């Protein structure tokens, strides 16, 4: 039987040994010769070999081409799982038992039939090609074991000998083909690419067993090939050739296709977690492994679970084990945080709560609601536990739980691969930061080759020149504005700027530029590339640039060189690019054009269902309050990209000083550009404006800065729901207890209104097809919301704060009708200080504190110093 059947679990070692002998007997039978099995094509080809080698089959060929032989050998010796070449002595010893059928050459590691095949059978075989001079050369990659030599392209005429393996043996300087070992296939499942390399020079089979014993090899051996070993995931000695050639199930003819240097570097990149994602997006110099999985609808590229499975296969690990648990009506997920008074309220009224992106909802009158959490375990091929992630997040969908758990493991692995030389202590600390329990001894053992390759990855002529830059994604380390020029945005602004959750479609090109030798080489380009803002799906500098653009606008900027392997994996001409990289003045030119911006579902629903849009109604509400109180100073807590501050510049008012605070430097940079432009235009045309000072600070609104105490008005519009509940409560204490504005305006979504929003056509259009048949509780309006409060909960929080700090509070909202269920879509609390001197929080110090960093400042009295164009940094 020619099919490859899985072996029964009850097969004993002795039974497997008997089956191995039987399998060899069948392979060398006349019946097998006429089959379409890849090995039968090898048997036909070796019959045309000349001299004493005629008819001899290398044992490595038998093992590489017949999976059933490998399965039987694994049943005899479990170590074959991690090192298939331990099968060689097992097959040789089994063949030695077939003395009437086979002849074995122990020193040459080859086998042939004792009695040649019948002449009729041989005559029926196709003859090898006789005219070898006109045959096209096959491109392969030569990987020398010496680190002093570079990996290079190799052209081979596979038909210059009667048997293609004899040709490869000559290229490897191996005396006979039977001393060439053939690896498993590398790369994609459909790939026929394999490594060919020389076996050791044993005097007997026992020395083969010792020299190739799994996990017992010495890296100090002068012939150890670290680059080939890393690619294969097994130890390789001597020179190696990466080629896609051989006999396959596709037909009797010799199959071959080119393997370029680009293919080699793409295979290297594919062994990295982020590399697998980059390749799935066909974008090596733009894409990056996201740090967050929001929805399947918004995700682009291979899913995290698929990437993790592919990573494990690449590194010869067992398939990851996903431990999914269904939680029913578990209230402990809904009572976290430091707002202890709200916890009891939650249990009584029902609340939606979110933990680190996890969604779990419990309604007061709802039926049984299920949520899911997922842990992941990764084992070696020998079933040793390498790492495990605990079930710390909960999700409404089982698929989301699996994808997020997979992404957490991938993020941990990616951080390790960026700095594989870390100590065991550093590895354990990294695991703790990622909520991953790492079994360090097994982990280090499995990825030891990664540590070695990290030192020798680059071509020898680049070492000491272009250093391996694994911080390409960190803009503070790699941004260099060419000749100190700022970004120049081309095209008129049209439409809205992107924000977190937006889907942005861009076209781009990445060009290698060398200033010293005046060359420009296109490395990568795309006519359309789509990604979600705010999840880290592209390198930081790209997202920072895109956040400044609207549809139709473009920008060009320059970055330092990234990891050399990424550049060589991206280009179509490795040799040409390598010659350019020898110049130390190379950098990359990025040209980006925004094609379209699809706003987050929350924003689109608000625009579609409310006129004017809910966001505009919130701004108008705040502006009415500012005018009512004749405020001269305002501080916007969580100003984001500055939409409120921009409206204040456009609207005549009594304000003289406006300040914005946010943790997002990207948003602040965008706000600075808009405000700077508007304020300068007002000044240039001599329009009357009371605003004399505008400042943007980078910092957390849960930290106090004494420079901003005592403003007339404070605003915090749709911000607190993006914080954990305990942090939202802390903000309330800091804002009213220390900042002490005369008036504080806070808005947040009304969770009770979500049922109306999610009945809209927009929401149903973007619903996951897998969920349409299920009865789902109301979701949050935005994946980044950590909680959403009911009216009663918001009232409870605001009333408690007002009482504590001697403020009055009034409730209102926008997007709805007062007194009509279910209330306003966006609920608003307006706090007013009852007396001139505020009640300070006795638990906090009030002396001078400056926690915030001044990112941008505009001063009408200083027309030269700080009122010029704001500098744009890629952060």
pLDDT at 681: 79
Separation in Å, CA 466 to CA 157, 261, 477, 583, 843? 35, 19, 15, 9, 53
The more confident residue out of 1 and 223 is 223
Q: Is the pLDDT of residue 198 over 80?
A: yes
What strands, in cross-sheet order, belong to the sheet with 57-58?
57-58, 110-113, 102-105
Q: Is the pLDDT of residue 341 over 60?
A: no
pLDDT at 352: 40
pLDDT at 848: 65
Compute the average pLDDT of residues 51-80: 87
Compute the average pLDDT of residues 695-712: 94
Max avg pLDDT among 43-52, 649-658, 866-875: 649-658
pLDDT at 318: 92
For 797-848, the pLDDT digits (tens) are 999 999 999 999 999 999 988 888 999 999 999 999 987 665 555 444 455 6
Q: Is the pLDDT of residue 348 over 70?
A: no
d(CA 665, CA 697): 9
Q: Is the pLDDT of residue 732 over 70?
A: yes
d(CA 762, CA 759): 8
pLDDT at 776: 54
Compute the average pLDDT of residues 32-59: 81
Closest CA to 456 of 565, 358, 322: 565
Strand 826-833 and strand 807-814: pairing?
A: antiparallel
Torsion sign, CA atoms 335, 341, 345, 350: negative
Contacts for 610 with CB less than 8 Å, ≥ 6 apart: 617, 815, 825
Separation in Å, CA 209 to CA 59, 85, 212, 217, 279? 14, 9, 6, 11, 38
What pairs with residue 833 in β-bridges? 807
Which DSSP helix (H) or strand (E) runs through 527?
strand 519-532
The answer to whether 137 and 88 are in contact (CB under 8 A) is: no
Torsion sign, CA atoms 599, 600, 602, 608: positive
For 236-251, the pLDDT digits (tens) are 889 999 999 988 887 7
pLDDT at 135: 62
The more confident residue out of 353 and 771 is 771
Compute the average pLDDT of residues 132-146: 81
The token duo for 418 is 């960026």
Q: Is the pLDDT of residue 695 over 70?
A: yes
Give the orientation angle of helix 398-418 with respect to helix 273-280, to 10 degrees: 120
Compute φ and ψ for 151, nearest 5 degrees. Answer: -65, 140
Residue 379: how many other CB atoms lie within 10 Å: 20
Comparing 278-287, 289-298, 616-625, 832-841, the range with the smallest average pLDDT is 832-841
d(CA 320, CA 14): 31
d(CA 100, CA 96): 10
Closest CA to 548 of 362, 386, 428, 674: 674
The answer to whether 647 and 615 are in contact (CB under 8 A) is: no
Q: Is the pLDDT of residue 768 over 80?
A: no
Residue 445's pLDDT band, with cuts at 50, 70 and 90, is: confident
Q: Is the pLDDT of residue 533 over 50?
A: yes
Alpha helices (runs of H) in 574-664, residue ranges in sequence order:
574-581, 601-609, 614-628, 643-650
Helix, strand, coil % in the chain, rounded to nearest 5: 35, 20, 40
The answer to whether 397 and 451 are in contact (CB under 8 A) is: no
Q: Which residues of 36-64 are buried (b: 16+ CB within 10 A; e: fewer)?
A: ebbbbbbbbbbbbbeeebebbbbbbbbbb
Write down how long the chain is: 875
Closest CA to 239 of 176, 163, 180: 180
Strands in 25-89 per DSSP E: 57-58
Q: Is the pLDDT of residue 69 over 60?
A: yes
Torsion sign, CA atoms 421, 422, 427, 431: negative
For 471-523, the pLDDT digits (tens) are 344 433 333 333 334 567 899 888 888 888 899 999 999 999 987 777 889 99
Q: What is the DSSP string of 447-514?
A: THHHHHHHHH-S-GGGTTTS---TTTT-HHHHB--GGGPPP--BS---SPPP-TT-EEEEEEEEEEEE
Strands in 121-264 per DSSP E: 138-143, 152-156, 180-182, 193-198, 240-248, 251-257
Contacts for 655 with CB less than 8 Å, ≥ 6 apart: 626, 631, 632, 633, 634, 648, 690, 691
pLDDT at 808: 96
Compute the average pLDDT of residues 61-87: 87
SS3 at position 685: coil
Compute φ and ψ for 316, nearest 5 degrees. Answer: 55, 40
The answer to whether 253 and 201 are in contact (CB under 8 A) is: no
Q: Is the pLDDT of residue 357 over 60?
A: no
Mean pLDDT of the chain: 81
Separation in Å, CA 635 to CA 537, 632, 708, 716? 32, 11, 8, 9
> How many C-alpha atoms does 570 have within 13 Å on its Cβ side?
28
Residue 791: how many other CB atoms lie within 10 Å: 19
**Distance between alpha carbon 562 and the CA centroid of its chain, in Å?**
16
The token duo for 429 is 């600390």
Indicate the pTM of the whole model: 0.79
Max avg pLDDT among 80-94, 251-265, 572-586, 715-729: 715-729
The more confident residue out of 187 and 776 is 187
Compute the average pLDDT of residues 379-387: 90
Compute the average pLDDT of residues 654-673: 90
For 740-764, the pLDDT digits (tens) are 999 999 999 999 998 888 776 555 5
Q: Which residues of 591-607 are buried (b: 16+ CB within 10 A; e: fewer)?
A: ebbbeebbbbbbbbbbb
435 CB-contact burial (10 Å; exposed 0-12 / middle 13-18 / buried 19+): middle
Contacts for 388 with CB less than 8 Å, ≥ 6 apart: 375, 376, 377, 378, 436, 437, 439
Closest CA to 634 of 534, 745, 546: 745
């Amino acid at each position: 039987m020619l099919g490859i059947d899985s072996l029964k679990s009850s097969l004993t070692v002795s039974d497997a040994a008997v089956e191995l002998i039987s399998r060899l007997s069948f392979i060398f039978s006349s019946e097998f010769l006429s089959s379409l099995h890849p090995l039968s094509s090898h048997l036909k080809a070796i019959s045309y070999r000349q001299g004493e080698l005629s008819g001899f089959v290398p044992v490595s060929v038998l093992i590489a081409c017949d999976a059933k032989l490998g399965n039987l050998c694994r049943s005899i010796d479990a170590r074959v799982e991690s090192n298939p070449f331990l099968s060689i002595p097992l097959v040789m010893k089994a063949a030695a038992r077939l003395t009437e059928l086979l002849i074995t050459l122990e020193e040459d590691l080859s086998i042939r039939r004792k009695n040649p095949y019948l002449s009729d059978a041989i005559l029926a075989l196709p003859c090898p090609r006789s005219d070898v001079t006109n045959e096209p050369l096959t491109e392969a990659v030569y990987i020398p074991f010496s680190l002093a030599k570079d990996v290079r392209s190799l052209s081979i005429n596979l038909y210059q000998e009667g048997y293609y393996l004899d040709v490869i043996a000559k290229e490897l300087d191996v005396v006979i083909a039977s001393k060439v070992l053939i690896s498993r296939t590398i790369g994609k499942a459909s790939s026929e690419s394999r490594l060919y390399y020389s076996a050791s020079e044993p005097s007997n089979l026992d020395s083969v067993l010792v020299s190739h014993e799994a996990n017992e090899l010495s890296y100090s051996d002068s012939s150890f090939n670290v680059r080939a070993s890393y690619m294969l995931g097994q130890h390789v000695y001597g020179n190696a050739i990466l080629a896609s050639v051989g006999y396959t199930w596709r037909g009797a003819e010799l199959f071959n296709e080119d393997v370029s240097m680009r293919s080699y570097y793409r295979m290297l990149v594919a062994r990295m977690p982020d590399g697998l994602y980059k390749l799935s997006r066909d974008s090596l110099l733009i894409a990056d492994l996201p740090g967050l999985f929001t929805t399947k609808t918004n995700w682009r590229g291979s899913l995290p679970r698929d990437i993790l499975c592919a990573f494990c296969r690449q590194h010869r690990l067992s398939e990851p084990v996903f431990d999914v648990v269904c939680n029913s009506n578990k209230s402990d997920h809904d009572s976290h945080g430091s707002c202890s008074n709200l916890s009891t309220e939650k249990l009584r009224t029902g609340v939606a709560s979110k933990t680190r992106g996890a969604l779990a909802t419990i309604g007061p009158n709802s039926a049984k609601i299920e949520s899911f959490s997922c842990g992941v375990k990764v084992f070696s091929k020998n079933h040793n536990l390498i790492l495990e992630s605990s079930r710390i997040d909960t999700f409404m969908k089982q698929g989301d739980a699996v994808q997020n758990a997979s992404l957490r493991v991938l993020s941990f692995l990616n951080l390790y691969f960026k700095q594989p030389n870390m100590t065991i202590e550093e590895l354990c600390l990294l695991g703790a930061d990622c909520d991953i329990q790492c079994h360090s001894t097994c982990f280090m053992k499995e990825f030891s080759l990664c540590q070695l390759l990290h030192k020798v990855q680059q071509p020898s002529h680049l070492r000491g020149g272009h250093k391996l830059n694994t911080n390409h994604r960190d803009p503070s380390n790699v941004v260099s504005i060419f000749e100190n020029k700022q970004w120049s945005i081309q095209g008129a602004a049209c439409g809205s700027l992107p924000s977190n959750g937006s889907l942005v479609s861009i076209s781009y090109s990445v060009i290698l530029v060398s200033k010293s030798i005046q060359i420009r080489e296109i490395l990568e380009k795309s006519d359309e590339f789509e990604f979600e803002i705010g999840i880290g799906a592209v390198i930081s500098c790209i997202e920072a640039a895109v956040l400044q653009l609207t549809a139709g606008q473009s920008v060009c900027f320059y970055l330092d060189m990234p990891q050399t392997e990424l550049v060589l994996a991206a280009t179509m001409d490795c040799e040409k690019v390598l010659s350019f990289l020898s110049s130390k003045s190379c950098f990359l030119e990025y040209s980006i054009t925004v094609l379209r911006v699809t706003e987050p579902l929350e924003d689109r629903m608000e625009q579609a269902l409310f006129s004017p849009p809910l966001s505009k109604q919130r701004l108008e509400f705040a502006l009415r309050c500012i005018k009512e109180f004749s405020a001269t100073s305002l501080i916007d807590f969580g100003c984001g990209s500055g939409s409120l501050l921009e409206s204040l510049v456009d609207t005549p008012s009594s304000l003289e000083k406006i300040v914005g605070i946010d943790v997002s430097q990207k948003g602040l940079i965008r706000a600075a550009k808009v405000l700077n432009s508007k304020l300068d235009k007002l000044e240039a045309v001599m329009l009357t404006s009371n605003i004399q000072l505008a400042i943007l600070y980078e910092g957390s609104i849960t930290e106090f800065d004494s420079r901003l105490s005592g403003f007339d008005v404070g605003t915090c519009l749709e911000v607190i729901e993006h914080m954990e509940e305990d942090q939202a409560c802390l903000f309330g204490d800091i804002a009213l207890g220390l900042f002490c504005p005369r008036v504080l305006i806070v808005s947040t979504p009304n969770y009770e209104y979500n049922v109306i929003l999610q009945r809209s056509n927009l929401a149903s259009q973007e619903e996951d097809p897998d969920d349409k048949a299920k009865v789902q509780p109301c979701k949050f309006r935005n994946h980044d919301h950590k909680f959403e409060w009911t009216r009663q909960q918001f009232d409870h929080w605001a009333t408690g704060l007002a009482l504590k700090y001697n403020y009055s509070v009034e409730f209102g909202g926008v997007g709805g009708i007062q007194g009509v269920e279910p209330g306003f879509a966006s609920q608003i609390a307006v706090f007013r200080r009852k007396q001139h001197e505020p009640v300070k929080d006795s638990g906090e110090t009030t002396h001078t504190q400056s926690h915030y960093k001044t990112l941008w400042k505009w001063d009408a009295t200083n027309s030269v110093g700080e009122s010029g164009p704001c500098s744009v940094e890629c952060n």
